Chain A
Amino acid sequence: MNYHEFLKRKYRFGLFILLSLIAFILISISIGSYHLPFHEILAGNPVIMNIRLPRIITAILVGASLAVSGAVMQCVLRNYLASPFTLGISQGAAFGAAFAIIYLGVGIMHRTGEGITILNPYIISLFAFFGSLISVFVILLLSKLRTLSPESMILAGVAMASLFQASTMLMQYFAENEVLIASVVFWTFGDVGRTVWMEISIIFVAFVFSLIYFFYRRIDYNTLLSGDEVALSLGVDVKRIRLEGMLVSSFLTSVCVSFTGIIGFVGLVAPHVVRIIIGGDYRFLILISTLVGALLLLLADTIGRMIISPVVIPVGIVTAFIGAPTFIYLLMRGEVR
């Protein structure tokens, strides 16, 4: 075997995931409580353009973003348990959203026949974004002030996550009426079904820029795997790469979470799946993780739409149900160290 053949296997896996994703998009687009014949799907029926397509594209973009963020966090923090969810970034976003809903009254929702609609999603998203940034900056600040080791940074994230959860609960406890509480709870369910085209384009832009940056740094991430000293001796500015990696991945996560709520496990599991199949080379891990993350989230959302149709289960709940056992399985196999 030569090196090119060795790489070809990785390309082949990437291609396989890409084709599966495309196939799944087609399946997902034709499934729904409102039955549409195939020619109407192709003709761009309003149900497709306004409901199913935004939903599918959001699932793909958010799945890809969370997965690539998780992959990068796992590398720069040298901890395979790192992910947007385990670092408290998602919980920070929920805290911000809860604050906006309860105290600023911007997000009062009203019940319609089919579910709950958010009145002013942008202010909530903005506060969710700020909330997630608090987590990020506390972790980064701690690492700067106390020169925290990457391993301890994840523990700081875990602490931040529970602090934010407690704060959110406290706000809910003292909230004036139950509609506010319901709105907060509803918001925190990760859901890819409430984004509109404008929000999708924001996520898209954040995703594309982050992905280009991560891809540019792919070889540096490989050097980090060999330890800081080796990376330094190879001419890599380890501190800068670590800081930038954390900032960009947290930023991307924040954008996603602020529009969709908390979606756990994709960022944790997707990079591991790729690592098990094609190894830890970040030249491939970055791009293929995005594909696997997109596929996972789309799969989870389709399951959520189908399982007790016409009721749609928010994708955040489905990913937790699929993700947790998967992760435990990976732990048992000894793949996650």
Chain B
Amino acid sequence: MMIIENLNFAYNSRNVLKNITFRVDSGDMFFILGPNGSGKTTLLKCISGVLKSSGNVWICGKELRNLSRIEIARKVAYVPQRVEICNLSVFDAILLGRRPYIRWGVGEEDIEIVKRIIRTFELDEFAFRSLTELSGGELQKVMIARAMAQEPNILLLDEPTNNLDLRNQIEVMNRVRRVVKEKGISAIITMHDLNIASIYADRIVMVKDGEIVDEGGVEVLTPRSIKEVYGVDVEVSNHNGVPVILPRFRSEEPINIK
């Protein structure tokens, strides 16, 4: 569980995040939606401790600022948007997730944990391949697997489905949801694809210019809120209880953007 209260962050005296307050419960898939430059990535970096922000962040009842780097790393795992590809094997890349628990050297227990994660993420056939040989989808799975090796309470994913094809998007999101539900952890996910978000979200916050515009379940995805945040006219229909968002257009006219 995570509570964020009055979080502010300024970059070169420009306020990027203003009074962000929300709460993420255990077992929740929590989505942060908003246009480019709205501060989604910055928010994740503040929560993960990569950036220092003012305001209060509580993780499982403990205040973020009172925790050491290692203690934060044992509770919060972060998968950034951009992945640096290096010449490590998949196994060793996932093993890095054990860094917060390793004192002098890698133990048998760490190796067993990584083996288990490789099995659950069905990465067996890639285990000893170099990251440089993987496709985008495989790489994203490895990064999430690495985050899982941290055994976190909070999983932060910055646009995890970017650059993935439809099948890989669904595969990655299914896997994330499965771990979140099975382990009772929370995932905080930023995303541009509103339809994928509406399928997987338990809770959503919509962010614009560093401020929360709307918060709630999938029902917050309305034509009005999307118009406000993205400035695009959309139609929201209901498909088996899941909102489906489609930009409003007529065949002879381009989509209305304001």
B59 in the interface (beta carbon within 8 A): no
B89 in the interface (beta carbon within 8 A): yes
Contact A222 B96, CB 8 Å, known A229-B78, A230-B80, A235-B73: yes
Please give the distance in Å from B48's CB to the nearest CB on chain A: 5
Residues of B contacting A287 in the complex (Cβ-Cβ under 8 angstroms): none
Please give the distance in Å from B11's CB to the nearest CB on chain A: 13
Contact across chains for B87 and A222 when beta carbons are under 8 A apart: no
From B28-36, B97-105, B220-228, the one touching the partner chain is B97-105
Give residues 244-299 of A contacting B (CB, 8 Å): 275, 279-281, 283
Candidates A3, A222, A233, A281; contact of B48 at CB < 8 Å: A233
Please give the distance in Å from A323's CB to the nearest CB on chain B: 21
Candidates B74, B76, B96, B127; contact of A226 at CB < 8 Å: B96
**Which of A1, A236, A237 is packed against the most chain B CB atoms within 10 Å?**
A236
Contact across chains for A235 and B69 when beta carbons are under 8 A apart: yes
Contact across chains for B84 and A226 when beta carbons are under 8 A apart: yes
Contact across chains for B99 and A235 when beta carbons are under 8 A apart: yes
Separation of A283 and B86 alpha carbons in the complex (Å): 14
B179 in the interface (beta carbon within 8 A): no
Candidates B71, B97, B104, B106; contact of A234 at CB < 8 Å: B97
Separation of A219 and B80 alpha carbons in the complex (Å): 20
Please give the distance in Å from B96's CB to the nearest CB on chain A: 5
Nearest CB in chain A to that of B147: its residue? A233
Q: Give the B interface residue count (CB, 8 A).
A: 40
Candidates A1, A236, A275; contact of B99 at CB < 8 Å: A236
B9 in the interface (beta carbon within 8 A): no
Contact across chains for B82 and A280 when beta carbons are under 8 A apart: no
Q: Give the A interface residue count (CB, 8 A).
A: 24
A interface footprint on B89-130 (CB within 8 Å = 1, 0 otherwise): 101110011011010101000010011000000000001101
Candidates B70, B82, B92; contact of A235 at CB < 8 Å: B70
Residues of B contacting A227 in the complex (Cβ-Cβ under 8 angstroms): 80, 82-84
Separation of A280 and B49 alpha carbons in the complex (Å): 27
A225 in the interface (beta carbon within 8 A): yes
Please give the distance in Å from A83's CB to the nearest CB on chain B: 18
A232 in the interface (beta carbon within 8 A): yes
Contact across chains for A279 and B87 when beta carbons are under 8 A apart: yes
Candidates A3, A230, A233, A237; contact of B76 at CB < 8 Å: A233
Please give the distance in Å from B127's CB to the nearest CB on chain A: 8
Residues of B contacting A223 in the complex (Cβ-Cβ under 8 angstroms): 96, 99
Separation of A217 and B10 alpha carbons in the complex (Å): 33
Candidates A1, A219, A233; contact of B50 at CB < 8 Å: A233
Nearest CB in chain B to that of A225: its residue? B86
Candidates B50, B88, B91, B150; contact of A225 at CB < 8 Å: B88
Contact across chains for B89 and A6 when beta carbons are under 8 A apart: yes
Separation of A2 and B90 alpha carbons in the complex (Å): 13
Separation of A225 and B132 alpha carbons in the complex (Å): 12
Contact across chains for B150 and A229 when beta carbons are under 8 A apart: no
B65 in the interface (beta carbon within 8 A): no
B77 in the interface (beta carbon within 8 A): yes
Please give the distance in Å from B13's CB to the nearest CB on chain A: 16
Contact A232 B92, CB 8 Å, known A227-B84, A275-B87: no
Contact across chains for B92 and A229 when beta carbons are under 8 A apart: no
Residues of B contacting A237 in the complex (Cβ-Cβ under 8 angstroms): 69
Residues of A contacting B74 in the complex (Cβ-Cβ under 8 angstroms): 235
Separation of A225 and B131 alpha carbons in the complex (Å): 11
B204 in the interface (beta carbon within 8 A): no
Residues of A contacting B104 in the complex (Cβ-Cβ under 8 angstroms): 216
Separation of A54 and B115 alpha carbons in the complex (Å): 48
B43 in the interface (beta carbon within 8 A): no
B45 in the interface (beta carbon within 8 A): yes
Residues of B contacting A283 in the complex (Cβ-Cβ under 8 angstroms): 106
B172 in the interface (beta carbon within 8 A): no
User: Residues of B with Cβ closer than 8 Å to A?
Assistant: 45, 48-50, 68-74, 76-78, 80, 82-84, 86-89, 91-93, 96-97, 99-100, 102, 104, 106, 111, 114-115, 127-128, 130, 146, 150
New contact pairs (15) apart from A3-B91, A229-B50, CB-CB < 8 Å = A3-B111, A3-B115, A6-B91, A216-B104, A222-B88, A222-B92, A222-B96, A227-B82, A227-B83, A229-B45, A229-B78, A233-B76, A233-B77, A234-B97, A279-B130
User: What 10 A-B pairs are tightest by C-beta distance, nearest first?
Assistant: A235-B73, A280-B87, A227-B84, A233-B78, A225-B86, A235-B70, A235-B69, A234-B99, A235-B100, A232-B50
User: Residues of A with Cβ closer than 8 Å to B?
Assistant: 1, 3, 6, 216, 219-220, 222-223, 225-227, 229-230, 232-237, 275, 279-281, 283
Name 17 A/B residue pairs within 8 A (Cβ), A-sorted.
A3-B111, A3-B127, A6-B128, A219-B99, A219-B102, A226-B83, A227-B82, A229-B80, A233-B49, A233-B77, A235-B71, A235-B100, A275-B87, A279-B88, A280-B87, A281-B88, A281-B92
